A and B are shown apart, each in its own frame.
Chain A
């Protein structure tokens, strides 16, 4: 087990998959000469060459649309969108083409493709560059939406995403690229569509994914000092959404907090809470709490921005609330 950063985990996954299969290639804005705006593909151009590390025009519909076509034509593209905020410029190709291509033609076409993109706020990039719109993409059957919370899962899930024949939107979080964690040695994959208990506890179930996983871990340390043991269930993928570990945990704790970085309304927390109520209503001891972003476009001012974003302390408070 090596301890590496999230960025290194993602970079290693891409590198190893490109070494393993020559049909895998990367395209996106500044992935080549620049080395990736978040340095994830640093060194790739020199090693793999410009044919397989393709700098594209700033044209998101073409980046995703051509990845779809390349996948239909037998390649295994990994398209990078510089941030998830730019995915809106490729929305038609993500939800209207990629998500439907296999179904709508009676199973004729396969789309072995990944769209990698970082989201999240907290870097003073203001309203258009700071969003966490994950739930929107999770709305569409046909697309797989993955958002890892640890370096090990990032590496294993990305390798799996590249190897399967379905289109995967792989959502990273730009503020946790430096987060470190233990990653298994050698080649390994993590199946998509399996939630995972990242920390065991008996008092409250905290459902989280992506950046809210390390935040929940921090909250767990604070709460442990008060004698409260939370069980953290990491969704890891939003579609397919694996509720089994969530429901199993809830049946044990009877209380839940759901943490997400995106807005509360119509969010991941709304969906997970509804499913807990549907599947485990008899086990509910307290109203489920949702921790999420305040319902404002994110402001530039650092203090206001942090005020709008969910914090570790918000998770701590919500846990205390469900135990009240």
Chain B
């Protein structure tokens, strides 16, 4: 990687962080509705994954999707506008926080039913296989999703058919407020992949470079014909499951311990230690991000509401009379 690429990763991570901090404020003010699940603390995961993929590789994730949206290159304006439900949002104000996608960037969403996107990922990989291209599907999901049937059906089919998928479990230790130990018979999640005869790996999700390197290797293997592989990324969310989480299931000291090992601070230290960037340079990026975020809030606030007619648009591709 050259210096520009390192700084780009830093820029993305800080952009996700600041965008979400600002979104939390707007949520408190009532400008953002519904559910808002923040990715803060997990930025290194999606940033490392997208840095490692080829643009043709599809990514698909669950409802904690703002990070991936930024990483694939959806402008902050369109992410913020979607959060505010505006016509200029990436999903035209019809999806909201949990349903962002950009087909032109091979980002297949943003899915809000736990685990339901995993069979869809199997199908995306099947389409790659059948069209004989060498794209890989990267399916991201939380630790909680490994307890639902969809997960098992999806990885069993993908493994049986040797489809090109990288399954990435973002283990942030809690499915909502229930810890892996309390929800899963096998809390060492990698064992579940081994149960299907799948090659499985793990990586420190606080280290963006480690994630990028690991994912680069996995994608090369899969492109080389290894069949599906599984990667557990150990991470932690600094905020609640969603806004309004009383957080009775974990202690303040536990959260503090992880914040001290946070991915952005860790990457800063790395960039200084390796003499890739100076404090000045990173602060400059921070200031630039602050401007981008304020611009995105202004853009979103000033954007129009979807028109009434939009209510009936996109129910079907082929319009039909009646209902």
Contacts and interface: CB of A to CB of B under 8 A. Distances in A.
Which size class do B's interface residues fall under? 35 or more
Interface in A10-53: 25, 51-52
A104 B91 CA distance: 7
Interface in B71-129: 89-95, 99-103, 108-111, 113, 116-128
Contacts of B315: 102-103, 141-142
Given A57-B153, A243-B322, A108 B121 contact: no
Contacts of A141: 315, 323
A104 B94 contact: yes
A62 B117 CA distance: 10
A28 to B, nearest CB: 12
B101 A109 contact: yes
A51 B91 CA distance: 34
Contact of B317 (A57, A67, A164): A164
B156 A57 contact: yes
B111 to A, nearest CB: 8
Contact of B124 (A64, A70, A239): A70
A52 B149 CA distance: 26
A65 B122 contact: yes
Contacts of B130: 25, 51-52, 70, 75
A243 B137 CA distance: 43
A103 to B, nearest CB: 5
B103 A106 contact: no
B103 A61 contact: no
Given A69-B127, A73-B123, A75-B130, A102 B322 contact: no
B283 interface: no
Contacts of A193: 320-322
A75 B131 contact: yes
Given A25-B130, A102-B317, A104-B95, A96 B118 contact: no
Nearest to B149: A61
A69 B119 contact: yes
Nearest to A58: B153
A102 B153 contact: no
Interface string A93-104: 100110000111
Contact of A108 (B103, B117, B149, B318): B103
B160 interface: yes
How many interface residues does chain A have, given as a range?
A: 35 or more
B316 A57 contact: no
Contact of A70 (B103, B123, B153, B160): B123
Interface in B293-315: 313-315
Contact of B120 (A25, A66, A75, A104): A66
Contacts of B161: 54
Interface string A238-251: 01111100000000
Contacts, number: 162
Contacts of B103: 105, 108-109
A65 B120 contact: yes
B150 interface: yes
B102 A108 contact: yes
Contacts of B119: 61-62, 64-66, 68-69, 93
B19 interface: no
A74 B156 contact: no
Given A69-B121, A104-B94, A93 B116 contact: yes
A166 B314 contact: no
A70 B157 CA distance: 13
B157 A56 contact: yes
A243 B119 CA distance: 36
Contacts of A164: 317-318
B154 interface: yes
Contact of B122 (A62, A75, A108, A142): A62
B317 A166 contact: yes
A207 to B, nearest CB: 15
Contact of B154 (A65, A70, A73): A65
A241 B322 contact: yes
Nearest to A79: B123
Contact of A73 (B128, B320, B322): B128
Nearest to B101: A105
A70 B95 contact: no
Interface string A101-140: 0111111111000000000000000000000000000000
A56 to B, nearest CB: 7
B123 A72 contact: yes
Contact of B94 (A25, A70, A73, A106): A106
Contact of A96 (B89, B116, B123, B322): B116
A277 to B, nearest CB: 16
Contact of A75 (B90, B95, B126, B156): B126
B126 A66 contact: yes
Contacts of A165: 317-318
A304 interface: no
Contacts of B108: 69, 72, 109
Contact of A92 (B113, B125, B317): B113
A69 B322 contact: no
Given A93-B116, A104-B91, A105-B95, A59 B156 contact: yes
Q: Which 7 pairs across A and B sit closest by C-beta, in order of nearness?
A: A69-B123, A65-B119, A73-B127, A106-B92, A66-B123, A62-B153, A107-B314
Interface of A: 25, 51-52, 54, 56-57, 59, 61-62, 64-75, 77, 92-93, 96-97, 102-110, 141-142, 144, 164-166, 192-193, 239-243
Interface of B: 58, 89-95, 99-103, 108-111, 113, 116-128, 130-131, 137, 149-150, 153-154, 156-157, 160-161, 313-318, 320-323
19 contacts: A61-B153, A62-B150, A64-B119, A65-B116, A68-B120, A69-B108, A69-B125, A92-B113, A93-B120, A97-B120, A102-B317, A106-B93, A106-B94, A107-B92, A108-B103, A110-B317, A239-B323, A241-B322, A243-B322
